[in-house]
Chains A and B, each alone.
Chain A
């Protein structure tokens, strides 16, 4: 009998020794210092919704080198769930992590956390008004959050009167324009001096992306609802050119029904507009019709993100592949000549140039 009891006890002992096998715990912190690289590019990798696997990549164009997961490696914690966007101001990077409900502030050279803004519902984008005021839009809250970048304290809110989804922001004079994407058709106009919603511009269904060019023309891209049965409607998408001063639509460029344009971006001089519509397209901001020849031909890959380096006007295009493996970013000259290909984190989405 004792023999069998010993077998059982031996089994328990083996199990106990395996205790040490279950590797889980603090992540090692790695020191970075990229203060000698003035033109680095941050790539926010969204990760997958409810997976908590967002990450931040840092690319040095001059050296064609990339460092992945720099946030977690520098700080010993995860970036969070769905890294939505990033902005830089005064040497600090503001990373909006949508479903974690937080904005991390990091040193752009060491990637070390300097602070954070919490108490947010579903933050999307940041826009800086001045050194002591910035706005954060939200996918679900019917208000824009106002915070002080110096203290990182929330100082107020701007009600958006029933418009739940506020997205990207651009500024003309004292007026901030933001697009209401989800089930909406409005561009809201905020007076940044009074922190008040003062006007709105009706455009097509679901304005998905906005930009403002060197001539102070506001460009708005709608996705037309995306599918038949959308309660907001389903129409052909459009690109709008709106005069920011008068807030009047000057021209509407209509796509085909079923197209899904997105990701408006301007080059460094803000005279050339880029967007994705299966292929990557480019047009001069003075053009009076949509381009006929793509900048980058669709080849079966779903391009997910697009940005243009404001310093070099080089073009970065993100490919999320199957969205459950590290994605790829392609870098091109303004003449569409390939320069580099980078392996990033999962679902590379937006770019931020240092």
Chain B
């Protein structure tokens, strides 16, 4: 019996997360804030942020970029609505955040990064952020951290349906449908999400002027024009099918297949004087991801196997019309990626004090990257690019030991192979200590060395690829404390952590004397800072409930590389587009069936030059403050639940750019209607 209990935390965790699924989602009370006084062997010393269902299901329009931006210390660099959004974890580059979906890597083998705007938050059932050293337990290369995303079987029996329709400003329409079936032996879930928008918001363009002229053509006056966001229309389709089954003896099987088809305009800069019909800048993506999983739970042993496949066809076309109605392709970049994936995991619980973990994963990439908008000297069409295959493998072993109830120690070792090269061993050490059971005060610390190997574009892009690049090398220290205060009516959970990280041989693309850009190992970055998280939930009465969730981060990410020459003023300066201070607060107040939500988000100023130039306006993007609110009313009938929700984004109608020359939308509105029929309706 005792032995069986050892696995209980694992199962409980999974069940608890599942229990937060859609059907239970609609409640809000202090009890919902998961406080795990049980300290899992698996998480000894791990700095981890779990995104709860409330965050992931806050709004159907949200991508994971929106969720991370609001609910974590990760800085999301967004180019606007439905345009690329990349993550900076602890001040590092987007390629330093490793992302997995059901265990399979999402990072592009070509670019190394993930576009979080392409992941609908409604398609993710659980999301965990592993900060700094803790990422080595997930994968290698997460010099900033790692994000694990997953889907999981529904817990409800019988048929289920959930349909949400959203109508928002700028002719934006969102449709979400989920069909589920839960039985004793197998479960199925089908999710469909379709979003489309003209995305043509109006804004005052302070980067341009309209000039008034007299009869001689002399300028007599000027004003800032009101323009629409040009070329920003998008259509995104996502379909996710999952099937899960149990065949007895602790065996569980699963298959998740996710297809996305996206056509997105890349909005024109606000300093572009071309007409909308004169210039087209478009990104098209078709991606299929499939993962089959097998898990077997026994008394002491957990075995898991995964096999997957990813196909991505991405096209970026920048074309223009010189006025003769003959569109000319200026850039036609196309890539095909096929990735076969396999992974095997073993967890062995020797007793309640010892846990051994071993896993191995492999990704075989086949990548074809080309630019088709090329002519030969005789005017023929031609292409340039590369066609490469690469095997990437990662092996991991870990020992977790809890000699006393209060103390936990863990050691990780990871080794990675890419092509015919190997990274050095990636070691990580973790420790936690329960200082006080009252308040569940736990101290945590970790240290790890980490390596990230170059992407295929880094090595082979035409022109500029550099196949002599070395791996990026990082080491990081973490330390922090977490605590939980709880009584019958309220829960407050807080966490403070500090980190110090050094990355050498950071790969940067720089111009060459030949005119094109090429990657080199040049930068040495020291990243250090503080992360504070807090969550407060209270039941004031049976009718009133409040939840506040906040985070604050101080992120210094400083270039300590060798200067290019005497004039290089970037040394000792904050990296481009990384805010030193960032914070976010989400508040939910429920009264009976009404739910009021408020989100506040802040970034301090971001520099657009490596020398942190402040003398000019284009050198600094001013501090960013954003407020969004929502009001939701739920209606419950014996045969169905309904809800109606109104969102007001950018409440105070701020005018701003989040990235240079990329205008953002002012105050905008959304109306969302939801229905959840009760197929198993019983008369009271």
- Which residues of the other chain, B, contact A205 by a CB distance below 8 angstroms? 377
User: Whole-angstrom distance between the alpha carbons of A184 and B209 in the complex?
Assistant: 38
Is A91 positioned at the interface, with any CB of B under 8 Å from its CB?
no
Given A4-B538, A122-B320, A233-B377, do A99 and B565 touch, yes or no (CB 8 Å)? Answer: no
User: Whole-angstrom distance between the alpha carbons of A223 and B514 in the complex?
Assistant: 8
User: Whole-angstrom distance between the alpha carbons of A234 and B240 in the complex?
Assistant: 47
B-contact bits for A244-267, CB 8 A (1 contact / 0 none)? 000000000000000010100000
Given A78-B271, A260-B514, do A326 and B609 touch, yes or no (CB 8 Å)? Answer: yes
Contact present for A81 and B661 (CB under 8 Å): yes
| Chain A residue with the shortest CB-CB distance to B587 | A8
- Interface hit among A127-135, A137-145, A287-295: A137-145
User: Closest Cβ of chain B: how far from A119's Cβ, in Å?
Assistant: 6
Q: In chain A between 293 and 347, which residues have their CB closer than 8 angstroms to a CB of chain B?
A: 299-302, 304, 319-328, 341, 343, 345-346
Q: In chain B between 24 and 46, which residues have their CB closer than 8 angstroms to a CB of chain A?
A: none
Is A118 positioned at the interface, with any CB of B under 8 Å from its CB?
yes
- Which residues of the other chain, B, contact A4 by a CB distance below 8 angstroms? 538, 540, 544, 546
Interface size for B (C-beta < 8 A) is 82
Is A101 positioned at the interface, with any CB of B under 8 Å from its CB?
yes
Is A238 positioned at the interface, with any CB of B under 8 Å from its CB?
no
Contact present for B654 and A232 (CB under 8 Å): no
Q: Which of A23, A52, A143, A343 contacts B269 (CB 8 A)?
A: A52
Contact present for B654 and A19 (CB under 8 Å): yes
Q: Which of A68, A151, A227, A319 contacts B463 (CB 8 A)?
A: A227
User: Closest Cβ of chain B: how far from A32's Cβ, in Å?
Assistant: 16
Given A183-B376, A230-B463, A232-B376, do A15 and B625 touch, yes or no (CB 8 Å)? Answer: yes
Given A18-B625, A22-B656, A226-B515, do A69 and B377 touch, yes or no (CB 8 Å)? Answer: no
A-contact bits for B324-338, CB 8 A (1 contact / 0 none)? 100010100000000
Q: Which of B515, B568, B623 contacts A321 (CB 8 A)?
A: B568
Is B211 positioned at the interface, with any CB of A under 8 Å from its CB?
yes
Which of B377, B464, B585, B625 neighbours the largest number of chain A CB atoms within 10 Å of its CB?
B377
- Which residues of the other chain, A, contact B512 by a CB distance below 8 angstroms? 260, 302
Contact present for A50 and B269 (CB under 8 Å): yes
| Chain A residue with the shortest CB-CB distance to B323 | A119
User: Closest Cβ of chain A: how far from B467's Cβ, in Å?
Assistant: 13
Is A72 positioned at the interface, with any CB of B under 8 Å from its CB?
yes
User: Whole-angstrom distance between the alpha carbons of A97 and B272 in the complex?
Assistant: 10
- Interface hit among B254-262, B378-386, B470-478: B378-386
Which of B213, B272, B544, B622 neighbours the largest number of chain A CB atoms within 10 Å of its CB?
B272
Q: In chain B between 226 and 273, which residues have their CB closer than 8 angstroms to a CB of chain A?
A: 269-273
Contact present for A325 and B377 (CB under 8 Å): no
| Chain B residue with the shortest CB-CB distance to A25 | B206
- Which residues of the other chain, B, contact A179 by a CB distance below 8 angstroms? none
Q: In chain B between 577 and 624, which residues have their CB closer than 8 angstroms to a CB of chain A?
A: 585, 587, 589, 598, 600, 602, 608-611, 613, 615-618, 622-624
- Which residues of the other chain, A, contact B560 by a CB distance below 8 angstroms? none
- Which residues of the other chain, B, contact A183 by a CB distance below 8 angstroms? 374-377, 382
User: Whole-angstrom distance between the alpha carbons of A231 and B374 in the complex?
Assistant: 8
User: Whole-angstrom distance between the alpha carbons of A343 and B619 in the complex?
Assistant: 14
A-contact bits for B31-63, CB 8 A (1 contact / 0 none)? 000000000000000000000000000000000
User: Closest Cβ of chain B: how far from A28's Cβ, in Å?
Assistant: 9
Q: Which of A22, A152, A157, A346 contacts B609 (CB 8 A)?
A: A346
Contact present for A100 and B206 (CB under 8 Å): no
- Which residues of the other chain, A, contact B211 by a CB distance below 8 angstroms? 113, 115
User: Whole-angstrom distance between the alpha carbons of A315 and B257 in the complex?
Assistant: 63
Q: Which of B271, B324, B513, B608 contacts A143 (CB 8 A)?
A: B324
Q: Which of A16, A77, A141, A152 contacts B206 (CB 8 A)?
A: A77
Contact present for B377 and A322 (CB under 8 Å): no
| Chain A residue with the shortest CB-CB distance to B618 | A53
Given A11-B587, A184-B377, do A115 and B510 touch, yes or no (CB 8 Å)? Answer: no
- Which residues of the other chain, A, contact B569 by a CB distance below 8 angstroms? 325
Contact present for B514 and A227 (CB under 8 Å): yes
Is B627 positioned at the interface, with any CB of A under 8 Å from its CB?
yes
User: Whole-angstrom distance between the alpha carbons of A205 and B170 in the complex?
Assistant: 48
- Which residues of the other chain, A, contact B565 by a CB distance below 8 angstroms? 299-301, 319, 321
Q: Which of A22, A164, A299 contacts B654 (CB 8 A)?
A: A22
- Which residues of the other chain, A, contact B623 by a CB distance below 8 angstroms? 21-23
Q: Which of B382, B510, B514 contacts A323 (CB 8 A)?
A: B510
Chain A: residues with CB nearer than 8 A to chain B? 1, 4-5, 8, 11-12, 15-16, 18-19, 21-27, 50-53, 55, 68-69, 72, 75-81, 97, 99-102, 112-116, 118-122, 138-143, 151-152, 154, 157, 162-164, 183-186, 205, 223, 226-227, 229-233, 260, 262, 278, 299-302, 304, 319-328, 341, 343, 345-346
26 contacts between A and B (CB under 8 A): A4-B538, A12-B627, A16-B627, A21-B623, A21-B625, A24-B657, A52-B269, A52-B270, A53-B618, A55-B618, A72-B617, A80-B271, A101-B279, A114-B219, A115-B219, A118-B273, A183-B374, A186-B377, A223-B514, A226-B514, A230-B384, A230-B463, A231-B383, A325-B570, A325-B609, A326-B609
Q: A77-B207, A115-B211, A346-B609 are in contact. List 19 more A-B contacts (CB 8 A).
A: A1-B541, A16-B627, A16-B652, A18-B625, A22-B656, A76-B209, A81-B271, A112-B219, A115-B213, A115-B219, A121-B274, A154-B323, A227-B463, A229-B463, A231-B374, A232-B376, A300-B564, A301-B564, A341-B567
